[in-house]
Structure 1
Amino acid sequence: MKTVTKLGVFAGALVVVFSNAYMVGQALGYSPAGPTAAAAAAEEDGPAGLMISQESLTLKVLNDTFPAGAQQTLAFQILERDGKPLQRFTPQHDKLLHLIVARRDLSHFQHVHPNLGPDGTWRIPLTFPEAGEYKIFADFMPAWGIHSITLGTDISVSGDYRPRPLPPVSSTATVEDYTVTMSGRPVPGQSSRLTLHLAKNGTPVTDLEPYLAAYGHLVALRDGDLAYIHVHPDGTPGDGKTKPGPEIVFFTEVPSFGAYRMFLDFQHQGVVRTAAFTVNVDGPNPPPHGLTPEQFEAAKAKNLNGGSGSGQTGESGHGHGG
């Protein structure tokens, strides 16, 4: 097909897509000057790490079994659509790929960095301390990519699995001699400022060391489905304004209300440590399809009052919860 013909088909497809979107909006009474396309796109993409395959890439684990308490080399590949392993990656924060390992009950967490072999296979020695269901997240950017991708898959570790309850909500975490205090409140669908203050034996830590090109890394996992959020701090070491403690500032956006487990990695005196928090996020959830809260409430009221939806209990249909 000639280039001009391709462009014509593409333009025609865009007309159909945007015409359909306009008609849906008009049917529900929305003004064209509404929410941004970026907000709608973010809602459609959804939280990271919930899919094993995305953007023509698939995460494939090569191991067959995983014993509890014994070190084993985890081997996996990122497969392209033709089934061949992806071999070219763009480094992010000093690494080609970040691997997160978490038990389903969020009682275990690891942030590690496997090595890429010439055959496109990633390998790293891992120990799953106890039996149970685990999830691994591969966070990376292909060399051809325009943004990072996070693929996730489940791993079953044989043995007697006894899930643990989520630790109680707390704004303070302790790891060895360090106390980390979190201030700020995450809001669903909005960029929220979180400040983490570090102290050792009661003395503020003012000489944090760069770890993966930052003074800290924050991973949040939603209880239940383990929706994944990886946040880097505001500012970078050596930028002339970011201090090496005692505070690390993050701007994070959680996808919904609910319980989350948040894990802060930081390095001090040559050792990387992880502080863990349980955070409860209050609603409401952000409206779907990039709508404003006012538009969403108007749409729900219209449907309940005999608009485009039947509004009758017990009938099947498609909808979103707020």
Structure 2
Amino acid sequence: MQTGLKITAFAAALAAAFGAAYGVGQGLDPVVKDGAPASAHDEQHAPGVSAPHEQDGHGGHETTPAGGLQVSENGYTLDLRTPRVEAGHRTDLRFAVRDERGRAVTEYQREHDKELHLIVASRDLLTYRHLHPARAADGTWSTPVDLPKAGGYRVFADFTPAKKGAGNITLGADLAASGPYRPQQLPAPRDTARVDGYEVRLDGTLRSGRRTELNLTVSRDGKPVTDLQPYLGAYGHLVALRSGDLAHLHVHPSGEPGDGRTEPGPTVSFAATAPSVGSYRLFLDFKHDGVVRTAAFTVRAGTQPGAEAGTDTEARTPAPDAPDAGTSDHPGDDDRGAGHGH
């Protein structure tokens, strides 16, 4: 009798939880359709994603673990205290990183000028945010966020604890934005993206299990940009997310400002390894004239040497041309695409 009561209570709790979630998602005003993912903003952030550099010894293939798929790893847990927000409304997103004893972590190693890098991406990879959270003395992080449409999102926290021997960790947690939801398809692969009068061209091959080079060349009004500005210690930051599970790949630039060999444009190069065949969304942050802009690409990672990063080896109906420029997270802006925020 006791077992039957426990099962019944558990089933009722599950039904109540899913029913409440559905009700929240349906009971709010409609949101504006999210647009093409690119944006221009004032000084903001790009979380790192570790470049693959461990080889498994099999024909040059490399071990490239995907990050952000787990809420807990190596004794650390992402405690997302704001699991739900309302689409189209600015909300204070709060979270903490907890150690194996449940204590909020208050000491981190600084990487790319920050203790912790935070990104938020929608499940369809059309909305993307680089955010700069602030940490309170008790270890609680907070940052304002304004998500343009209802649906599921993933929050990624990328950090390295100050504890000796602790390596870089990327944790992920689900975030829900309430409101009527209209799913959208991933944009078709293209080798160019336009944002705020700039054009960024992607050259290179993204391959599964093998490290390759991706080159992104920035131009404005048909002229190459040769005076890119350092941003978080580099001339560009590239974040890659896998379509389907939003696995977070770390991709670092090849070279850095002041190393005597890296030029400030027009091309920024990255080494990258895809953990599997499939579609990915790449987000390049670059700074010029004091403003950080984001260019986004859909790419298809294959296994054949001739498969181009900017093309899809599967049959796909080309998406209609759409404006590539999104806007900022700041109040008063038309918030439609990829972006940054403090």
- TM-score band by shorter chain is 0.7 to 0.9
Partner residue of 1:214 out of 234, 255, 259:
234
Contact 1:113 1:124 in 2 (8 A): yes
Distance apart, 1:129 and its partner CA? 1.1
Contact 2:83 2:174 in 1 (8 A): no
Distance in 2 between residues matched to 1:146 and 1:62, nearest whole Å: 24
Q: Partner residue of 1:255?
A: 275
Partner residue of 2:93 out of 74, 87, 93:
74
Change (3 A) 1:214 1:183: same
Q: Partner residue of 1:292?
A: none
Distance in 2 between residues matched to 1:234 and 1:185, nearest whole Å: 16
Q: Partner residue of 2:338?
A: none
Distance apart, 1:65 and its partner CA? 3.1
Contact 2:284 2:294 in 1 (8 A): yes
Between Structure 1 and Structure 2, the one with more helix by share is: 1
Partner residue of 1:114 out of 118, 122, 133:
133
Q: How many residues align?
A: 248
Q: Partner residue of 1:125?
A: 144
Q: Partner residue of 1:93?
A: 112
Determine which structure has more spread, i.e. the larger CA radius of gyration.
Answer: 1
Distance apart, 1:256 and its partner CA? 0.6
Partner residue of 1:264 out of 280, 284, 301:
284
Distance in 2 between residues matched to 1:40 and 1:269, nearest whole Å: 40
TM, length-normalised to structure 2: 0.70
Q: Partner residue of 1:65?
A: 84
Q: Partner residue of 1:302?
A: none
Contact 2:191 2:203 in 1 (8 A): yes
Q: Confirm or deny that 1:166 pairs with 2:186.
A: yes
Q: Partner residue of 1:200?
A: 220
Unaligned runs of 5+ in 1: 1-33, 285-322
Q: Partner residue of 2:176?
A: 156
Distance apart, 1:113 and its partner CA? 1.7
State the AA in 2 paired with 1:104. R
1:92-148 Cα shifts (integer Å, max 9, x gaps): 100111101100000101112211110100110111111110001000100024421
Distance in 1 between residues matched to 2:278 and 2:162, nearest whole Å: 35
Q: Partner residue of 2:73?
A: 54
Distance apart, 1:238 and its partner CA? 1.1
Moved over 2 A (4+): 34-37, 39-43
Q: Partner residue of 2:14?
A: none
Contact 2:218 2:265 in 1 (8 A): yes
Distance apart, 1:63 and its partner CA? 1.9
Distance in 1 between residues matched to 2:66 and 2:110, nearest whole Å: 22
Unaligned runs of 5+ in 2: 1-54, 305-342
State the AA in 2 paired with 1:201. D
RMSD of equivalent CA atoms = 1.9
Distance apart, 1:201 and its partner CA? 1.1
TM, length-normalised to structure 1: 0.74
Q: Partner residue of 1:246?
A: 266
Q: What secondary structure is seen at the aligned counterpart in 1 of 2:274?
A: coil
